Amino acid sequence: MYHNPKLLELLDIKIFLKASKETVKKRRNERDGYVTIEGFWKDPPDYFENVVWPNYQKYHCSTSIQNIIALDTEENNIEEVLNIALIEINRALKARFTLMHQ
Where are the domains positioned within the chain?
A: 5-100
Name which of 53, 62, 51 is nearest 16 in CA terms: 62
pLDDT tens, 4-40?
A: 778 888 888 888 888 899 999 999 999 888 899 999 9
CA distances from 99 to 17, 85, 94, 102 (A): 28, 21, 9, 6
We find that the CATH architecture of domain 5-100 is 3-Layer(aba) Sandwich (3.40)
Measured distance CA(54)–CA(21) in Å, rounded: 10
Residue 64, pLDDT > 70, answer: no
Ramachandran sector of residue 46 (left: φ over 0; alpha: ψ -120 to 50; beta: rest): left
Q: Which residues contact 27 (CB under 8 A, 6 or more apart)?
A: 19
- Would you state the pLDDT for residue 65? 63
- Would you state the pLDDT for residue 62? 57
pTM of this prediction? Answer: 0.68
**C-beta of residue 14 within 8 angstroms of C-beta of residue 65:** yes
